A and B are shown apart, each in its own frame.
Chain A
Amino acid sequence: MKSIKIWSLVAMLFIGMAACTPANSGEDNPNNTPNDNPGGNNGSNEGVSVEGEWVLTSWNEIEPPFHVYVNFKEDYTFEMYEQVYSLTYEYITGTYDLDDDTLTGEYDGNVHTPGSPWKSSYTVTKTEGEDGTFTLELVDESGVASIYTSTTIPEDVKVEASETRAVAAEHFL
């Protein structure tokens, strides 16, 4: 009885992995360069995946004077490195979900604040540019579009965000 249960679980796990793994997964592109295909989609929006590292390159049709990097991970968690309302990069984490082309998410809570949902849900369109760079267009509920371009998040950004004595640490609240 016990062995049947284990084998059933193993079998279900394989089936589940096969179903979830995109045709062109990150394992096929171990070097996550901007020209890779984050999420493994080939340019069509069908079965879109947002996995990978992205940088905000356009917001509401302007080049933003601030910086947002996001890493959507395979396990439906995300890491953000953003320098928007602080002078230094901040490290922010949470979880996300992708239902067809609708992207939703929630920020992790911490000792100071509880977790909270994103400001909006987003309609996702993923495209491949002529130079092989992938972009994600996220359109929020008010119709404002953000363009994220595939990238590799710079190491110095990650290091800066991890600095404990950063300017951001005493910026608000």
Chain B
Amino acid sequence: MNKYRFLLISLAAIIMASCVEDKLSSTEVVEQDMVAAKKIINTSAGATSGKLIFYVTEECASRIENAEVTRSGMTELDLLAMEIEASKIKPVFNLKVNAERKRARGMHRWYAVEFPETVSLEDAAMKLANIDYVEAVQYAGTVKRPSEQATEFDPTTNGVTRSGEYPFDDPGMYYQWHYINRGRVSLYPTAVEGEDINVEAAWKLTTGRPDVVVAIVDEGVCYDHDDLKANFHVNEAELNGEDGVDDDDNGYVDDIYGYNFAINGRVSYSREGDSGHGTHVAGTVAAVNNNGIGCAGIAGGSGNGDGVRIFSSQIFSGKDYADYAHVAAAIEYAADRGACILQCSWGFEPYAVPNDNMFETGMYSVEYEAIEYFIDTKNCDALDGGLVVFAAGNEGKPIAGYPGAYNSYLAVTAYAPDGRPAYYTCYDQGCNISAPGGEYYLVGGSTAETGCVYSTLAGPRVGTSSYGYMQGTSMACPHVSGVAALGLSYALDLGKSFTVDEYKALLATSVRAFPDSAFEGTKVHAEGGMMNLPTYRGKMGTGKIDAYRLLMAIRGVECVPVSTTETNYIDFSKFIGRDGIQIKVKDYTIPDETYEALGIAFDQFTAGKMVLQCSKVGVGTIKVGMIAGGNTEGGGMVTGGMRIEKEFALISRPNVELNEDGNPIRNDGWL
């Protein structure tokens, strides 16, 4: 009966459609097509055959939800589905979890339709866009896998760690200059002591917490690695459930250690084509510390099961890639599964997206939707949402690749063991912060790997070592994610909490400056090219992420001394770090209470400084707006820096000494 009804409806619709077409003039058809073409938000270049993503009206979404798998319940859509022999129409996002919140955001209106690859993708897109209740059509391209290759660790060189030299007994710490750089020229000929993430002091305060969860959006992570498994976030319902069954009814079958969105199945790390990239990244965030084997992780705990937790939101698998819809689903999954940090060592080619506007509404709209959902999802008591961290890119271009280039996501550049920019790193526009990414170097006509980042690899199960070296902004990125996870652990210890914006501001300002010498002269790199270092000056983000500084910033508020007896000219960038930190102060906001507490009679922002006159002794807060990375704020048609707002405490006292620039300076101690 249903079949007949469907046929009748279909025939009626075909007749109606024919009639309508008959009545349209050729001009009207052209106009209609132009309207439809505007709904197609990207081009078909590089798109996946046999699949389109589309966004429908609210009414249409409701109808589709109640329809069959291969038909929508909406006449025009069903006709098109028949025409292109659609095998599947399904929502991009998973409404089995947090459905109400997703509906409120309109996420239930994103759909994907799959059809034979023989059908013309462009024709199908145009016909889809011609349907009134389809508001946008997106070609489904694939995310490119990062190209870094691993160099396996040679175990015969192990055992050089001396007792007491490092805070943990993991023998590979000797090679992890990126955590504690002793300036060993045996690892890198021009290595400089201290060019690291300054985590040694931070580890005295915290080494991580299991209630901080990081999603590794990457290749599959080797979940049974001896140096990772204790820090894995395990779905116990699936682990103890039945194979092939969605035991916890979250929409994913057997998602024990995460989910493989590239092949719609279990997490895997040993398919042909896997490089160990995801496992390497995961080790930097949370390899188990102090367990006497392998290497350390930034937030890998103290060896007592107290590291941060990781899981795999897999988007690369062997030679398979997740398409845009699946990448979006992977990010959504990360939020739904409890991650508060999204670790993304991937991105689209630099210049593939022209600006922030196009990222929001253009070819990656569905990713944007998913990332924003992640940011709005609270999974940690210390943070009111999610933090996303992206690699800037390895193309050496003066712009980060999107999504990292987007103004409110962190994009991480890379530096080498000598503190100079790594030869491959993207820089400048859209880049926010820097971290060790390491690099190969030339020695005797060949390349050496010990200047790269040392971490976990997928292990003997895939015919490689369990540890090895990689270089790239892909490796720099998890340093920021790991430090961010460490910071949240410390915030939880202290009972402190932050908004996502506040926490991004803390991260972006918890940096050390690149010394001037880092931008002088040239560098011959491992690929034989010459790097002109002055090109990178002031363009590597705010500075180098500093774990200890972050923890200190989490613990206390930065105080600025002001005088009640003289006019103050305050350069807030000076209170973040030494000259050289790439922060541009834009504006400030003073609460009424501060005006009252300090008796502020005059304030004005001039030439990057706040001119302030106050009469009362007291303390008050001020929020200072800054651009983190570069001089231009990103947004709209611009790919640029991240706007941050940092809170300072103003302490007004009489007789505060001012320096020659008119800035207040600290005068010995408090008394």
- In the complex, which residues of chain A have a beta carbon less than 8 angstroms from the beta carbon of B559? 65-66, 84-85
Minimum CB–CB distance for B151 against chain A, Å: 31
Q: Is B669 a contact partner of A88 (Cβ separation < 8 A)?
A: no
Q: Is A173 a contact partner of B201 (Cβ separation < 8 A)?
A: no
Checking A119, A166, A171, A173 against B671 with a beta-carbon cut-off of 8 angstroms, the contacting residue is A119
Residue A62 at the chain B interface, CB threshold 8 Å: yes
Type the 1/0 row for B389-418, where 1 means its CB is closer than 8 Å to any CB of A.
000000000000000000000000000000
Minimum CB–CB distance for A5 against chain B, Å: 40
| CB nearest to A116 among chain B residues | B668
Checking A60, A64, A87, A173 against B549 with a beta-carbon cut-off of 8 angstroms, the contacting residue is A87
Nearest first, the 5 closest Cβ-Cβ pairs linking A and B are: A87-B552, A92-B669, A107-B668, A85-B666, A118-B671
Q: Is B670 a contact partner of A80 (Cβ separation < 8 A)?
A: yes
Q: Is B669 a contact partner of A80 (Cβ separation < 8 A)?
A: yes
A to B CB contacts below 8 Å, 28 in the list: A60-B617, A60-B618, A60-B619, A62-B619, A65-B557, A66-B559, A66-B649, A67-B556, A70-B671, A80-B671, A82-B669, A87-B549, A87-B552, A87-B553, A87-B555, A94-B669, A105-B671, A107-B668, A113-B668, A118-B668, A119-B667, A119-B671, A144-B653, A165-B194, A170-B512, A171-B575, A172-B665, A173-B666
Q: Is B653 a contact partner of A119 (Cβ separation < 8 A)?
A: yes
Residue B143 at the chain A interface, CB threshold 8 Å: no
Residue B578 at the chain A interface, CB threshold 8 Å: yes
- In the complex, which residues of chain A have a beta carbon less than 8 angstroms from the beta carbon of B549? 87, 167
Minimum CB–CB distance for B375 against chain A, Å: 27
Residue A8 at the chain B interface, CB threshold 8 Å: no
Q: Is B665 a contact partner of A173 (Cβ separation < 8 A)?
A: yes
Q: How far is the CA of A142 from the CA of B669 in the complex (A)?
A: 18
Q: Is B649 a contact partner of A65 (Cβ separation < 8 A)?
A: yes
Residue B548 at the chain A interface, CB threshold 8 Å: yes
Q: Is B557 a contact partner of A165 (Cβ separation < 8 A)?
A: no
Q: How far is the CA of A151 from the CA of B201 in the complex (A)?
A: 26
Residue A98 at the chain B interface, CB threshold 8 Å: no
Q: How far is the CA of A73 from the CA of B651 in the complex (A)?
A: 28
Q: Is A82 a contact partner of B670 (Cβ separation < 8 A)?
A: yes
Most central of A66, A122, A167 by chain B CB within 10 Å: A167
Contacts from A to B (Cβ < 8 Å): 56, 59-60, 62, 64-68, 70, 80, 82-85, 87-88, 90, 92, 94, 105, 107, 113, 116, 118-120, 122, 142, 144, 163, 165-167, 170-173
| Given A120-B655, A171-B578, 10 additional A-B pairs, CB 8 A | A60-B618, A66-B559, A70-B671, A80-B671, A84-B651, A87-B558, A116-B667, A119-B653, A166-B201, A170-B512
Q: How far is the CA of A107 from the CA of B559 in the complex (A)?
A: 21
- In the complex, which residues of chain A have a beta carbon less than 8 angstroms from the beta carbon of B668? 92, 94, 107, 113, 116, 118
Residue B577 at the chain A interface, CB threshold 8 Å: yes
Q: Is B670 a contact partner of A68 (Cβ separation < 8 A)?
A: yes
- In the complex, which residues of chain B have a beta carbon less than 8 angstroms from the beta carbon of A120? 655, 671
Most central of B557, B649, B651, B671 by chain A CB within 10 Å: B671
Given contacts A65-B619, A85-B666, A142-B617, contact A167 B671 (CB under 8 A): no
Minimum CB–CB distance for B553 against chain A, Å: 6
Minimum CB–CB distance for B649 against chain A, Å: 5
| CB nearest to B578 among chain A residues | A170
Q: How far is the CA of A81 from the CA of B649 in the complex (A)?
A: 19
- In the complex, which residues of chain A have a beta carbon less than 8 angstroms from the beta carbon of B560? 85
Q: How far is the CA of A68 from the CA of B560 in the complex (A)?
A: 15
Given contacts A62-B618, A119-B653, A170-B512, contact A87 B667 (CB under 8 A): no
Number of A-B contacts (CB under 8 A): 90
| CB nearest to B558 among chain A residues | A87
Minimum CB–CB distance for A63 against chain B, Å: 9
Residue B662 at the chain A interface, CB threshold 8 Å: no
Type the 1/0 row for B635-671, where 1 means its CB is closer than 8 Å to any CB of A.
0000000000000010101110000000001111111
| CB nearest to B666 among chain A residues | A85
Q: Is A142 a contact partner of B671 (Cβ separation < 8 A)?
A: no
| CB nearest to A165 among chain B residues | B201
- In the complex, which residues of chain A have a beta carbon less than 8 angstroms from the beta carbon of B619? 59-60, 62, 64-65
Q: Is B649 a contact partner of A163 (Cβ separation < 8 A)?
A: no
| CB nearest to B555 among chain A residues | A87
Residues from 184 to 202 in B contacting A, C-beta threshold 8 Å: 194, 198, 201
Residue B301 at the chain A interface, CB threshold 8 Å: no
Q: How far is the CA of A62 from the CA of B596 in the complex (A)?
A: 14
Minimum CB–CB distance for A102 against chain B, Å: 13
Residues from 610 to 649 in B contacting A, C-beta threshold 8 Å: 617-619, 649
Q: Is A163 a contact partner of B669 (Cβ separation < 8 A)?
A: no
Q: How far is the CA of A116 from the CA of B577 in the complex (A)?
A: 25
- In the complex, which residues of chain B have a beta carbon less than 8 angstroms from the beta carbon of A116? 667-668
- In the complex, which residues of chain B have a beta carbon less than 8 angstroms from the beta carbon of A87? 549, 552-553, 555-556, 558
Q: Is A66 a contact partner of B556 (Cβ separation < 8 A)?
A: yes
Q: How far is the CA of A120 from the CA of B512 in the complex (A)?
A: 35
Minimum CB–CB distance for A89 against chain B, Å: 10
Given contacts A82-B670, A170-B512, contact A163 B555 (CB under 8 A): no
Q: How far is the CA of A66 from the CA of B555 in the complex (A)?
A: 10
Residue B172 at the chain A interface, CB threshold 8 Å: no
Residue B141 at the chain A interface, CB threshold 8 Å: no
Q: Is B556 a contact partner of A142 (Cβ separation < 8 A)?
A: no
| CB nearest to B546 among chain A residues | A167
Residue B561 at the chain A interface, CB threshold 8 Å: yes
- In the complex, which residues of chain B have a beta carbon less than 8 angstroms from the beta carbon of A142? 617, 654
Q: How far is the CA of A165 from the CA of B512 in the complex (A)?
A: 12
Minimum CB–CB distance for A153 against chain B, Å: 14
| CB nearest to A83 among chain B residues | B556
Q: How far is the CA of A67 from the CA of B201 in the complex (A)?
A: 20
Q: How far is the CA of A88 from the CA of B201 in the complex (A)?
A: 12
Residues from 529 to 576 in B contacting A, C-beta threshold 8 Å: 546, 548-549, 552-553, 555-561, 574-575
Q: Is B651 a contact partner of A163 (Cβ separation < 8 A)?
A: no
Minimum CB–CB distance for B204 against chain A, Å: 8
Given contacts A118-B671, A172-B665, contact A88 B617 (CB under 8 A): no
Minimum CB–CB distance for B656 against chain A, Å: 8
- In the complex, which residues of chain B have a beta carbon less than 8 angstroms from the beta carbon of A171? 575, 577-578
Q: How far is the CA of A122 from the CA of B552 in the complex (A)?
A: 31
Q: How far is the CA of A62 from the CA of B594 in the complex (A)?
A: 13
Q: How far is the CA of A86 from the CA of B482 in the complex (A)?
A: 24
- In the complex, which residues of chain B have a beta carbon less than 8 angstroms from the beta carbon of A80? 669-671
Given contacts A142-B654, A165-B201, contact A84 B665 (CB under 8 A): no
- In the complex, which residues of chain A have a beta carbon less than 8 angstroms from the beta carbon of B671? 70, 80, 105, 118-120, 122
| CB nearest to A106 among chain B residues | B668
Q: Is A163 a contact partner of B670 (Cβ separation < 8 A)?
A: no
Q: Is A170 a contact partner of B669 (Cβ separation < 8 A)?
A: no
Minimum CB–CB distance for B549 against chain A, Å: 5
- In the complex, which residues of chain B have a beta carbon less than 8 angstroms from the beta carbon of A94? 668-669
Type the 1/0 row for B571-604, where 1 means its CB is closer than 8 Å to any CB of A.
0001101100000000000000000000000000
- In the complex, which residues of chain A have a beta carbon less than 8 angstroms from the beta carbon of B575? 171
- In the complex, which residues of chain B have a beta carbon less than 8 angstroms from the beta carbon of A92? 668-669
| CB nearest to B653 among chain A residues | A119
- In the complex, which residues of chain B have a beta carbon less than 8 angstroms from the beta carbon of A105? 671
- In the complex, which residues of chain B have a beta carbon less than 8 angstroms from the beta carbon of A88? 552
Q: Is B655 a contact partner of A165 (Cβ separation < 8 A)?
A: no
- In the complex, which residues of chain A have a beta carbon less than 8 angstroms from the beta carbon of B655? 119-120
- In the complex, which residues of chain A have a beta carbon less than 8 angstroms from the beta carbon of B577? 170-171
- In the complex, which residues of chain B have a beta carbon less than 8 angstroms from the beta carbon of A84? 559, 651, 670
- In the complex, which residues of chain B have a beta carbon less than 8 angstroms from the beta carbon of A113? 668
Q: How far is the CA of A116 from the CA of B649 in the complex (A)?
A: 25
Q: How far is the CA of A62 from the CA of B194 in the complex (A)?
A: 39
